[in-house]
Amino acid sequence: MLPIRLRKVCVASIALMAGGLLVLLATQSIAQEHSPVVGEAEPIELPNSSGEGVESDRAKQDGTLVQPVSLLQPTPIVLPRASAMPSAAPTPSPQPAPAVASSPSASPVLPSNLFSSSFATQDKVSGAEAFPKATTDLGDLLRESSSALSADVQSRTPIVHDPRIRSSRVGALAASGSHWVPARADLDTVLSKFDSRQIQSTTIIPGPFAARYGPGFQFVDVELLNSPRFADGYQWNGSSDFDFSANGNQWFGQQSLWTGAENWGARVNYGHRTGDDYRSGNGQKIPSGYESRETTLALGRDWEGGHSLELSLLRLDQTDVVFPGYVFDIDYLVTDGYEATHTKTDGSWFDTVTTNTWYNNTRFAGDAQNPAKRQYFPFLDDINYRGFTDVNSMSTGYRQMFEWGGLRDGYQFTLGHDTRVVRQELNEISSGTSLGLPIPFNDRNSPIPDSMIVNPGLFFEYEEAFLENYRFSAGGRLDYAGAEIVDDAAKLEEVGLGTFPATYAEIMGTDQYDQDFALYSLYASLSRQMNENLTSTISVGYAERAPTLTELYAAQPFMLVLQNGLNNVTGDPLLKKEKMLQMDLALNYRSDRVRTGIRGFYAWGFDYITFENTSVTYVPPAGEVGQVSLRYVNTDLATLSGFETYFEANPESVLTPFANMRYVAGRDRTRNGNFATSNGSFGNPSQQVDGAPRGAFSGISGSDAEPLPSISPLETRLGLRLRDPSRDECWTLELSARVVDNQDRIATSLLETATPGFTTWDIRSTFRPFDSDYLTVVMGMENFTNKQYREHLDFRTQSGIGISQPGANFYVGAGLTY
């Protein structure tokens, strides 16, 4: 049962939702008198990803095979919006377009009466890119896609990837839509739940320039494949595809079926992945095996009066997932996700109302006994460490939006309310022998106690086109977030990794665990079409967010959240809310011969949450660093700045050269702070000692200011794309180089290590044999020069022990549609 304080918040949230539903029901009978019957609705031309209207999409469904894949395409950095508003959802139609990739050979074209400003505030990645690139989870797709300009991605295993939007901190990003959060910040990510083949599209908003997704600084909005519709009546289709990657003996097979008619549809999919250890460029075998099974189901139904209901289900089962460079592996993981969306159009006093609700649950268990990984963590053998972890994470909530206006009206206004509830619990049971005096400890828990945060909010968004070549958008939110521990108090009496067990209050330095946050955000963006080809945009946003449950309540679990690896992490229940002010400037040029753009940003983070090094454990006799203890802490001021740019020449020609680049600089301007934190232990509660520089208890000196940790280096991608000159475009070939600069802007007080640069080369191809739209074959070689390299975010110790990325990898795949 919910605690009384949070129960009241939930009741208020439910009342908000119920009120919206009552208003909807009260107007339903009136709305039906004015709502057209399905099939009689006047067609509404909205631009889609190929520059055509929704009506043309519907026409393609009449006896035309719907393609589930796409050939390699020109870099779709600046896709036209599916509505007039870059931050607004598409206006639904009585017969929504099928949720599969269509017409793969169509190149993006701007609609004649609107200019696209989406590049200024977001990146958009199509799920159709997944099959040609043989990607695994959604994070892997963002890593390989040239469209994800603002996203750097940390590869933890071949099937688990963590997105860092403009080097956002690990664990701080949530995926919108159904509001996914990582169950454990080092082993689970917000995008590893989604098979990249089952994604319609993904929108990345690299700043506080949206209101509907909740309080936050960056957003990833995931749109899964929905149920299809068929204008000619009942149909069914299916697809079967597989791919094989030689490095790691990785196999993937997938079966999909979809069926429907004019006003209903269904889609079911099952995918199965297996893999073994991969080899790095020098031939070293890296432990990284896995087995993963995912089932998705989508059901949809439309009714007269403008009603539409979409239901979706996701089930992910993973076993024996080995994480190179991490203490723990996953023995099993189960994720269940449920989502329902009801849409009502043409109401008496609104144009569209959308109500979305979801429930997601992830639970997994793992251990730290893999002998193949102990070579990377000799400290664990020094203390005879044995560890087990189990995690349970739940996210549920709803969002309801009322919308007015659209493309024909020249404006769109959205008003909505939502609630998000996240509940998490982590147990980490450890046994071993302490250094120095060999005192054994047994079954010691370093938990994130069972805790929860409830976040109801109100939001609005507005956008208007005016004076023929200007467009203005703005939005804002008001939120309350309440966090609380709901665990059994007796469980918290003996915790931590000290020689003797401490109480949870001693570890945290306080027994005041309840937190309340009042949050708000505002943003505005102004775009101007300077001439037929050039568009400029300025965007300003301010946002606040509450700390995550990990940042508030973690009590010394082994979470490898920084490059140096063996970290135990402690939260702070008294953390302040984090605030960010950000400005973006963008120029975007599009013509038949050249497509290019540049986007620069500068952000000020107030009470920015980062890490304090509270102690370092050295292993005798060599005195090497064995373990680094970290504490979440607010720093008064941090700054983030950088740019993203892209270039593409002759995008419609046989040969297309392309390039893109991104760069982020992050700096803790007040690193010294005004206090230092001591670790808590038995009889010695953690304390903040005023007047001491931050991290003083670690013995690692730091300067008044230093770079923020885990900032990705300058990265450039260069390439050539060759395509079949025929209209059917039966084949494509792409050669690209990924050039990563060295990174010497590092957080020395946190023992971060500088890393050298590297260049890897990939070649990819797609082919449709027999001039057939039914069969597509993909083939390629990643890192074909067999480069031995490490990413800056990869695990590495001060003594040089670390994990390398895969060497040369040949892959092949085929997809059959019927």
Is pLDDT of 680 > 70?
A: yes
What amino acid is encoded at 362 in this protein? T
Could you state, in order of their start, the residue ranges of all structural domains in the chain? 4-817
Is pLDDT of 161 > 60?
A: yes
Give pLDDT, residue 652: 84
Write down the mean pLDDT value for the chain.
85
Degrees (nearest 5) of the Cα angle 594, 741, 715? Answer: 35
Give pLDDT, residue 72: 61
Is pLDDT of 354 > 50?
A: yes
Give pLDDT, residue 76: 37
Pairing of strands 411-433, 440-445: antiparallel
* Percentage of residues in the chain having pLDDT higher than 90: 70
Query: For 98-154, how does the pLDDT look when each residue is reduced to its tens digit (9 = 90+)?
Result: 333 332 222 222 222 222 346 778 999 999 999 999 999 999 999 999 999 999 999
Rounding to the nearest 10 degrees, give the CA dihedral for residues 791, 290, 396, 179.
30
Rounding to the nearest 10 degrees, give the CA dihedral for residues 721, 727, 731, 732.
10
Q: Which residue, 55, 114, 124, 209, is CA-closest to 407?
A: 114
Maximum alpha-carbon separation in the chain: 84
CB 516 within 8 A of CB 541: no
Give pLDDT, residue 734: 96
Q: How far apart are CA 172 and CA 68, in angstroms?
A: 33
Query: For 210-241, how does the pLDDT look when each residue is reduced to its tens digit (9 = 90+)?
Result: 999 999 999 999 999 999 999 999 999 999 99
**DSSP H helical segments within 383-479, as ranges?**
none
Query: For 1-28, how does the pLDDT look when each residue is reduced to its tens digit (9 = 90+)?
Result: 445 555 544 444 444 444 444 444 443 4
DSSP annotation string for 262-303: SSEEEEEEEEEEEE--EEBTT--EE---EEEEEEEEEEEEEE
Region at 283 (left for phi over 0; alpha for psi -120 to 50; beta for the rest): left
Give pLDDT, residue 654: 93
Q: 3-state class of 777 per DSSP?
A: strand
* Percentage of residues in the chain having pLDDT higher than 70: 85
Q: Which residue, 513, 516, 449, 505, is CA-closest to 482?
A: 516
Which residue is listed with tokens 């700054």? 639
SS (H, E, C) 41-68: CCCCCCCCCCCCCHHHHHHHHCCCCCCC
CB 461 within 8 A of CB 417: no
Give pLDDT, residue 52: 34
pLDDT band at 169 (very low <50, low <70, confident <90, very high): confident
Give pLDDT, residue 381: 87
CB 132 within 8 A of CB 98: no
Q: How far apart are CA 678 and CA 211, in angstroms?
A: 39
Name the phi and psi angles at 22, rounded to 5: -65, -40
Q: Higher pLDDT residue, 76 or 497?
A: 497
Q: Higher pLDDT residue, 542 or 628?
A: 542
Q: How far apart are CA 551 and CA 547, in angstroms?
A: 6
Query: For 693-719, how does the pLDDT look when each residue is reduced to its tens digit (9 = 90+)?
Result: 999 999 887 889 999 999 999 999 999
Mean pLDDT comparison of 46-60, 120-134, 259-273, 402-416, highest-scoring range: 259-273
Mean pLDDT comparison of 371-375, 615-619, 744-748, highest-scoring range: 744-748
- Can you tell me the mean pLDDT for 556-568? 87
Query: For 46-97, how does the pLDDT look when each residue is reduced to its tens digit (9 = 90+)?
Result: 333 333 333 333 333 333 333 334 456 444 333 332 322 223 333 333 333 3
Q: How far apart are CA 703 and CA 220, in angstroms?
A: 35
Degrees (nearest 5) of the Cα angle 631, 438, 366? Answer: 55
- Can you tell me the mean pLDDT for 433-454? 90
Give pLDDT, residue 5: 52
Give pLDDT, residue 115: 29
* 33 Cβ contact partners less than 8 Å away, ≥ 6 residues apart: none
The class of domain 4-817 in CATH terms is mainly beta
Is pLDDT of 450 > 70?
A: yes
Give pLDDT, residue 4: 53
- Can you tell me the mean pLDDT for 540-564? 94
Q: Higher pLDDT residue, 569 or 174?
A: 569
Q: How far apart are CA 151 and CA 142, in angstroms?
A: 7
- Can you tell me the mean pLDDT for 532-559? 95
Is pLDDT of 400 > 80?
A: yes
